[in-house]
Amino acid sequence: MERLQKVLAQAGVASRRKCEELILQGRVQVNGVTVRELGTKVDPGRDEIAVDGRVIRREELVYLLLYKPTGVITSLHDPQGRPVVTDLLCGVKQRVFPVGRLDYDTSGLLLLTNDGELANRVAHPSFEIDKVYRAWVKGVPSPEKLRQLAQGVLLADGLTAPGRARLLKADPLGRRALLELTIHEGRNQQVRRMCAAVGHPVESLKRIRLGFLTLDGLAPGQYRHLTPEELQRLKRELAMTSS
Active site residue 103: yes
Are 84 and 66 contacting, i.e. CB atoms less than 8 angstroms apart?
no
Are 163 and 173 contacting, i.e. CB atoms less than 8 angstroms apart?
no
Which residues, at least 6 apart from 188, have a Cβ–Cβ distance to it below 8 Å? 101
Which residues, at least 6 apart from 80, have a Cβ–Cβ distance to it below 8 Å? none
Are 116 and 20 contacting, i.e. CB atoms less than 8 angstroms apart?
no
Cα distances (angstroms) measured from residue 121 to each of 45, 118, 125, 186, 237: 25, 5, 8, 12, 10
Are 203 and 175 contacting, i.e. CB atoms less than 8 angstroms apart?
no
Q: What is the DSSP string of 109-161?
A: EEEEES-HHHHHHHH-GGG---EEEEEEEES---HHHHHHHHH--EETTEEPP
Q: Which of 103, 157, 171, 216 is catalytic?
A: 103
119: nearest Cα among 229, 242, 10: 10
For 124, phi then psi, to 5°, come to -80, 130
Catalytic residues: 103
